[in-house]
Structure 1
Amino acid sequence: MSTEPRLTPLPADEWDDGVRHALSPLLPASHATPDFAGNILGTLVRHQPLTHAYLTFNAHLLRESTLSARLREVAILRAALVSRSDYLWDHHVPLAQRAGLTDDDIEGVRVGAAADGVDAAVVRAVDELAESKTLTDATWALVREHLDERQVLDLIFTIGCYQVLAVTVNALGIQPEEH
């Protein structure tokens, strides 16, 4: 994995209405600024149509998903971890805490030993999808004990969405924001 950025965020003087439109599925115009958007979105807007399409999908998963915010963050954290994306892990730990995960819950997700049954099912699903790109019948049955069919679809798409984002962050060498 690159330690140097391969693409950097679009310079502030190049932000225009096209950039704001690209970010609009996720960010209101008032927040479509280089400082607020951060390094991921600031880099992705180098390809505005792709960014708009991806963020439309991502916004559904963040705002319209049938998964609870808590369960969504379990899936995202584990996807970030198995994709070796420290950037996404670091960004989503505070979101997971706001969604109700305790430090012990987050550690369980990190080590693959979630204490909660539904969390454990989600961790197992993320791991299998990352490794084999499918779910075993046993994991499918376990996930279905906890989730209805729409939730299962949202779960699988959330995992895949964040795996794609992790691959992008890693391949582009997107750097953490300086605070």
Structure 2
Amino acid sequence: QHTVIGVRAGITDDEVRRLTVEALDGWSPPERALLAAVDQLVADHDLDDATWSALAEGRTTEQVMDLVFAVGQYVLVSTALRTFRVPIDDGMPGFPS
């Protein structure tokens, strides 16, 4: 479902594929900082100082806060949808494995 929406928003098929692996090869430094921060927020519900510093480089505090709130909201909604067994929309693929 997210792959279709992401492609509509301009994410390439290659970027979608690269998001399914842990390696951050091929991403720019700002993109790597963003992806590492998202991974850390989902796993730990926190950002360590090094991740915060890397993420904040070239971004305002408000932009970093927006990311934290966006990830938190996604985790909240996805937890509810999975817990209540809400199915993926018909005709929509799941995330590639």
Counterpart among 134, 137, 142 of residue 54 in structure 2:
142
Task: Check 1:100–1:177 CA distance in 2 against 1; reply closer, same or farther (3 A cut).
Answer: closer
Q: What are the equivalent positions in structure 2 for 1:22-171 lying under 5 Å apart?
A: 90=1, 92-114=2-24, 115-171=27-83
Structure 1 position 166, deviation (Å) = 0.8
Whole-angstrom distance in 1 between the partners of 2:28 and 2:20:
13
* Equivalent residue letter for 1:178: D
Corresponding residue pairs, total: 89
* Equivalent residue letter for 1:142: A
Whole-angstrom distance in 2 between the partners of 1:132 and 1:172:
23
Residues 112-157 of structure 1, C-alpha deviations (whole Å, 9 max, x = no match): 3342322221211111112221111110011011321111111000
**Percent identity between the two aligned chains:** 30
The TM-score with structure 1 as length reference comes to 0.46
Answer 1 or 2: higher relative contact order, Cα 8 Å, separation at least 6.
2
Structure 1 position 99, deviation (Å) = 2.2
Which structure's residues are more often helix, by fraction? Answer: 1
* Equivalent residue letter for 2:3: V
Question: What SS is found at the alignment partner of 1:147?
Answer: coil
Q: Flag as ranges the 4+ runs of structure 1 deviating above 4 A.
A: none
The TM-score with structure 2 as length reference comes to 0.79
Contact 1:113 1:120 in 2 (8 A): no
Whole-angstrom distance in 2 between the partners of 1:140 and 1:154:
13
Structure 1 position 173, deviation (Å) = 0.3
Q: What runs of 5+ residues in structure 1 fail to find an aligned partner?
A: 1-89
Structure having the higher Rg: 1
